[in-house]
Amino acid sequence: MIDNNEMIQRQGADKQLGQMSNDFLRLTGKYNYTYNFSWMGRPIIQFPQDIMAMQEIIWRVKPDLIIETGIAHGGSLIFSASMLELIGGDGQVLGIDIDIREHNRVELEKHPMFKRITMLEGSAVDADIVRQVCDFAKNKKSVLVCLDSMHSHAHVLKELALYSPLVTRGSYLVVFDTAIEDMPEGSYPDRPWDKGNNPKTAVWEFLKQNDRFEIDREIQNKLLITVAPDGYLKCVK
């Protein structure tokens, strides 16, 4: 009998499946597919597969702190907080966004999971914001970081440099929207990112200079459909 791990490796190596996955991302993108889902009442703007992967990571790591750059409607903050609520203890979520819209702030602040959430408004690469995040992370035994704000190469590479030191051994640094690199050139005409200039290219450059992290390809091989290929980085040192 073939075990699950071998089957996961096989499907991850299946080029036809890989192309089908990319086609799915490309074809559903024009319908704003990721906007179809919510978590406990707040739009989460993620693929269900990636939500499942994050659930597995959070349950396994049991972080004291989850740091997320990019808030949007706040569904991901609510998801992370609800996972920490299930785990128990005093785990907190820290969300950062350059523009926290007032109507989103109002909805988040009245949510029952907001008791575990702190939000900072400002650029994730601003020195003062980084200082506040570092202060917040002091004395935390287990820290998980998720990057999902500006998707240009330069911005994500700077986020990786600033926030990777906060990630603890055995935890994860998750970089979303690396799949931009796998889409046809010109797929984002109204955005400052494209093929060759995106989170995945930033991850590749970051890993050339940092040996604390490695790509956990078992996750993407298992999911097949994910916005974060090469973006699930496990902290191994």
With beta carbons less than 8 A apart as the criterion, state whether 151 and 202 touch.
no
DSSP β-bridge partners for residue 190 = none
Nearest in space to 145 (alpha carbons), one of 57, 205, 74, 221: 57
The domain ranges of the chain are 4-235
Please report which confidence band the pLDDT of residue 3 belongs to, taking 50, 70 and 90 as the band edges. Answer: confident
Q: Where are the beta strands (DSSP E) in the chain?
A: 38-39, 42-43, 65-69, 92-97, 117-121, 143-147, 172-175, 213-215, 232-235
Report residue 158 as tokens.
């700077």
Question: Could you report the per-residue pLDDT of 62-119, keeping only the tens digit for each?
Answer: 999 999 999 999 999 999 999 999 999 999 999 999 999 999 999 999 999 999 999 9
Crossing angle of helices 199-209 and 153-163, in 10° steps, is: 40
Question: Could you report the per-residue pLDDT of 219-233, keeping only the tens digit for each?
Answer: 999 999 999 999 999
Please report which confidence band the pLDDT of residue 209 belongs to, taking 50, 70 and 90 as the band edges. Answer: very high
In this predicted structure, the answer to whether residue 126 has a pLDDT above a threshold of 70 is yes
In this predicted structure, the answer to whether residue 1 has a pLDDT above a threshold of 70 is no
Superfamily for domain range 4-235: Vaccinia Virus protein VP39 (3.40.50.150)
Question: Could you report the per-residue pLDDT of 150-189, keeping only the tens digit for each?
Answer: 999 999 999 999 999 999 999 999 999 999 999 999 999 9
With beta carbons less than 8 A apart as the criterion, state whether 57 and 174 touch.
yes
Distance (Å, whole) CA 173 – CA 164: 7
- Residues 32, 34, 40, 42, CA torsion sign: negative
Please report which confidence band the pLDDT of residue 212 belongs to, taking 50, 70 and 90 as the band edges. Answer: very high
pTM across the whole model: 0.97
Longest C-alpha distance within the chain, in Å? 55
Question: Could you report the per-residue pLDDT of 31-62, keeping only the tens digit for each?
Answer: 999 999 999 999 999 999 999 999 999 999 99
